[in-house]
Amino acid sequence: MTDRNPIGCIVTGSATTTATYGRGTMIRRKTAVVTLMIASTGCATIGLGPPQIESQKTVSVAVKPVHKSGDATAVGTLDGKALTVKVVRQCFNDDVEFQTVETRTKRERSNQSAALDWTAGVAGVVLVGAGSVAIASPSTFGAGSGSGTGSGGSSSPPTSKGDMIGAGVVMVGAGIALGVIPIVDAVRASGSTREVSTQVVPGATVMHTACGSEPYANASVTGSIGKSQRLYGQTDASGVLHVDLWEQLPVEAITGPNAAFSLQLVIDGKPAGQVDVSSLPYAFEDTFWRQLNDPMAGNGGIKACGRDVLLLSGQTTAPSSTGLDWATGAQSPDMLWNVSSCAALVRFTQLFPSGTHAQEANDMLAKLRAKGAAALQAAKDAAEHARAEAAQQAAGRAAAERQVKEHGACVAKCRSTCSGDSGCAAACVKQNCS
């Protein structure tokens, strides 16, 4: 028999269930299951939409004093190579209006899970329709008929009209219950929530009064000269920073053809002042020269340079730690470039060619170069003498070996000529091989 049930998922069941309980009971049970499944998802989520301003008004105005700071100004003082930077900021005492603003906002409620209500509503309509049909026309669902074959050939029990009408009543009731869900959620989602908030905002400046300047503590100070830019540090509580430019500034920045003599001070990323550093080359030259002449300067001082030149010239015993050889290690006409301890002195004459100590440094280099050149020539002469002596000794050894060979050949010839006569052979050797 063809099932004419308009809601197949509810009235269509296994033959075993139908055979055991009857069609009306099966419909009631499945209706209850579907209703519980949909209802178990719970109520819809009702949320609040974005706030909408309904009104704003100023409820009070008060004038309050406000202390403000302006842009920073940096003043640098140069003493030799020591730079002192003092950073200040202009200060102002302003009278400012502060308004207390009251804002009224509204947030509409909205159903954020409308799909659930649509599902419940559609299911409710289907159940009410199917239940109404079952009540009005029970025969549509097979009421009053005992025919039907279950699984394995078993026959279903007859379904009475009362049983089917009862099932229709259950479906209508379940449909009405599901239909109530979207109605309730629609009521819950209606309406809005209103809020009132206050905020104090600054308004116009009533009076603007300058109060001089004040130290700028913890200001980041950067120095920029030519292509060199470096962070010097931060000011102390009094707005002061002490900088040793010898440690912070490359010597090449203030010497040579690309030298610059104006140091720009940058505070928190903004230019705030300039310092004349035209006297800095003299301070740097003096510092460099004192370091070169310091007995404790180590491997970079003049003392170490002169020591190594003397060692390499053979005037004292040269330790193996120097690792230098005037005769074989020199690749430049200026031999001092091959002595690491002399490189600083050579660099000094290049950085300060017209400085106060330039003549003294050049005279010293000239003497050292002369000693180095003499040592190199002496090494070359010694090497040449050694080569000549070795060649002479080799020639003597070759002549002696040649003489021995010639004497042996002569003796052999005499013995062969005399046919074993020892007297004859001795006379021949004495006459021809001596």
Question: DSSP string spanning 136-180?
Answer: H-GGGGTTT----B-GGGPBPPP--HHHHHHHHHHHHHHHHHHHH
Q: How many CB atoms lie within 10 A of CB 33?
A: 11
What predicted TM-score, i.e. pTM, was given to this entire model?
Answer: 0.48
Residue-wise pLDDT tens for the chain (434 aa)? 333 333 333 333 333 344 444 566 666 666 666 666 666 555 677 777 788 888 888 888 888 888 777 889 999 999 999 999 999 998 888 888 888 888 888 888 877 777 777 777 787 788 777 777 777 777 766 655 544 444 444 455 556 777 777 777 777 777 787 777 777 777 777 777 888 888 888 888 877 777 778 899 999 999 998 888 889 999 999 999 999 999 988 888 888 777 888 999 999 889 999 999 999 999 999 999 988 888 776 666 777 777 776 665 554 444 333 434 444 444 344 555 456 677 788 888 889 998 899 999 888 888 877 776 776 677 678 878 889 999 999 988 888 888 888 888 888 888 888 887 888 888 888 888 87
What's the pLDDT score for residue 236? 95
Cβ neighbours of residue 75 closer than 8 Å, sequence gap 6 or more: 85, 86, 88, 273
CA 368 vs CA 309, 346, 355, 362: distances in Å: 7, 11, 20, 10
Q: How far apart are CA 41 and CA 45, in angstroms?
A: 11
Residue identified by tokens 């005492």 is 93
3-state helix, strand, coil in the chain (%, to 5): 50, 25, 25
User: What does the alpha-carbon distance between residue 145 and residue 222 come to, in Å, rounded to a whole number?
Assistant: 102
| Whole-Å CA distances, 388 to 381, 382, 395 | 11, 10, 11
3-state SS, one letter per residue, for 298-347: HHHCHHHHHHHHHHHCCCCCCCHHHCCCCCCCCCCCCHHHHCHHHHHHHH
Residue 1 three-state SS? coil
DSSP H/E element including 105: strand 82-111
Helix (H, G, I), strand (E, B) or coil at 291: helix
Cα gap 308→59, rounded to integer Å: 88
- DSSP label of 129: H
256 CB neighbour count, 10 Å cutoff:
12
How long a stretch of residues is the chain? 434
Q: Among 402, 70, 19, which Cα is nearest to 268's?
A: 70
Q: What pLDDT, on the 0 to 100 scale, is given for residue 332? A: 41
The pLDDT, as a whole number, for residue 23 is 61
CB atoms inside a 10 Å sphere around CB 395 = 10
| DSSP code, position 5 | -
